[in-house]
Structures are given as structure tokens and as C-alpha cells.
Structure 1
Amino acid sequence: DKSKREMEVSVQPDGQISVKLDLDWKASVEEYPKDHLNGKMIAQLNQLLSKEMTDLAKKTLKKMQNARCDGLGIARQLMAYHPDTWKKQKENWGSHYQKVKFDPNIQVEIRKKGIIN
């Protein structure tokens, strides 16, 4: 239903670039009317979906790095907030991008359930 994204790009003293990516997703579940979701079941689903989506994000980011696809605009963040680091790495950004350390964290919260709320 809703999504909120926060991304923080940081550069370590040794030049290692790390990206912390936090996503908060608000979701709704349509269910079979006889199968009522209770609070405990929703909490379990939130936890399971958060873990599965975080794992999927890690795999997707790894594929993007292998393909040298900077779809999140890490280079732009470096240009704007870490210009000295960018000047050192811009010549061969594709290979440097493959070494960026990503830390995705996705939190799913089911806020609505059922066909009719």
C-alpha cells in the first residue's frame, strides 16, 4: 500500500563504500473469508515477509552489482556528498561499484486484511 525508503551512503577511512538501505512497506492481505487472520498470525507473516524480502533484495543487489547497474544512484550520492572519494573512483566506477557493500533491511507491516475492511 505504501513504501518509505531511506538510503545512507558512507565512506570508510580505507575507502570502502557502504550503503545502508532501509525500506518500510505497508501492505494489505486479501484472504479467504473462512481463514481469519489474528494478531499472532499477522505478526508471524510480518516477520516472514520481512525476512524473505530482505533476502530477495540482497540477491537482486548482487545481480545489479555483477551487471554494473547503478540503479540506486550510488555514484550520484558520491558526487554530491563525497566528492573526494568520487574523484578517486570515477575513472573505473564499474569495477569499484562491484565492491560496494550493501546492507538492505526491509520491514513489512500488514495494516489491512480481508476483502472488505
Structure 2
Amino acid sequence: GQIPAYILKDIFQNRKRNARLIKPMAFVKVIGPMKGERSFILPNVITAENEIKLAGAGIIKGKTQTYGGYLNESEVEGLMWIKGDLKGGVLKSSDPKTGKNIAYEIKAVKSKIKAIVQGDDIFFQVKMTSEGRISEVHIKHENLRNNNVLGQEESLFQEKVNSLAEQTVAKMQKLKVDVGGFGEALRIQHPKVWRKVKEDWDTTFSTIPVRFSTDIHIEDYGSSITTAD
């Protein structure tokens, strides 16, 4: 007896706690990309144990306006970092020495895509920055107030974010589709170059190198610096 649209609207309210949810896409926001023949993504809705949930995203190709592939939840997470669209959530990783889990609670994320043109060559540099806190650690006797330990944890999460972003771009280039805003960055920063490549941009993008760098700053910790055993 529940109205499906209301159920989906309530699910999107969890974006502040879930880094794997894309922005909701209203019908009115679909018209622009379709008329401009720009590729875009739509949230994927599935049923699990008699419940409705959002998992991953479907890609609509701009040229053909047909289904062009699928981003899984991990790839969506990487895309949200690339676009700086995260409203919160948790980034999980594990300590390479002990294998124990550690969680980073996201407070803020910013991203900047820089298009670089050298002759006929194009490549992108993506700089992602984030502030947050350590919300969960399962490493016994770990003192998070130690600067060396803190730096190690920041590096650990920076590598994790770079890995997620690289995985996402690899998938987009495999599918020959740009849903990360790279074409828009090129259009704004190098309009003359964009006019030369825009007609078949999705295919062109599939061959362009993308480099990532991430700067994560851990501001504070959970309720205590005493870690779980």
C-alpha cells in the first residue's frame, strides 16, 4: 500500500550516512543531458529480502540515449569522490600490518578536475581533499594521538580513495562513457580544444590518462582514543 516514489525519497535521505548513494535524479534534470547528448547516471533500484534499496547506478549514453552499462556500489563510491558529491558516510579500510579494520567518517569532501592540454595530448589531474574523523578502529593498543600513527592512517585512506577513483575511471573508459564531469572540465578550461573533440567525446575520453591525488585530514576521533580489542 506504500507509494514507491515516497519510499525512494526516504532512502535518499540516507546520503549523509552512505558514501555509495548518488544524488537523486528528478525527471526535469534528465532533459538537459538528453538534449545535449551527454551521458548521465540513474540510481539502480533493487529488492532485497522484501525491501527496496538503492545499489549502484545505471549509465545512459548521451549519443544513443540507451542503457550503456552499470556501476557497482564501489564504483559509485569512487565516482562520488571524483565529483566531490559526498555528503557524508564512512570510508573503510584495513591496517596492512594487522589486517584489522579501520573506519574514516567523512565530514566534507572537495574535488577539482584539471584538464591539461599539451599539443594534441589531453590528460586530467583530479585533486580530492577531505576532512573527517576516525570513527572505528580494531587495532589493539593503537595510540591515535601519535603523529606518526595519524599520518599512517591518513596515507592509508588516501590510497584507498585513489584506488576507488582509479577503479571507477577504468570502468567508465571500458564502457566508453564519461559520467564524471571530465568533459565539462575540458569545456570550461580549454573551450577551443573541446570544440574539436566534443562530437565523439565518450570514445575520446576512453583513451585519456587520468591521474589522482588525495589529501585526507583527520580532525578528531570517536568518543575515545581507546581502541577495541
* TM bracket, shorter-chain basis: 0.7 to 0.9
Residue of structure 2 in register with 1:54 after alignment: 162
Pair 1:107-2:215 in alignment: yes
TM-score normalized by the length of structure 1: 0.82
Q: Once the two structures are superposed, what CA deviation does each residue of 1:33-88 show, in whole Å capped at 9, x if it has no partner?
A: x8542323211111111112212211111112222332222222333332322222
When the two chains are superposed, the root-mean-square deviation of aligned CA atoms in Å is 2.2
Aligned residues: 115
Percentage of pairs with the same residue: 23
Cα displacement (A) at 1:116: 6.1
- The residue type paired with residue 30 of structure 1 is S
Distance 1:55 1:115, change over 3 A: same
Normalising by structure 2, what TM-score? Answer: 0.45
Partner of 1:2 in structure 2? 108
Q: Which of the pair has more CA radius of gyration?
A: 2
Secondary structure in structure 2 of the residue aligned to 1:54: helix
Runs of 4+ in 1 over 4 A off after TM superposition: none
Which protein has the bigger helix share? 1
Q: Which has the higher contact order (CA 8 A, sep 6+)?
A: 1
Q: Deviation of residue 109 (structure 1)?
A: 1.7
**SS of 1:56's equivalent?**
helix
Structure 2 contact 177–203 (Cα < 8 Å) conserved: no
> Where in structure 1 are there 5+ consecutive unaligned residues?
none
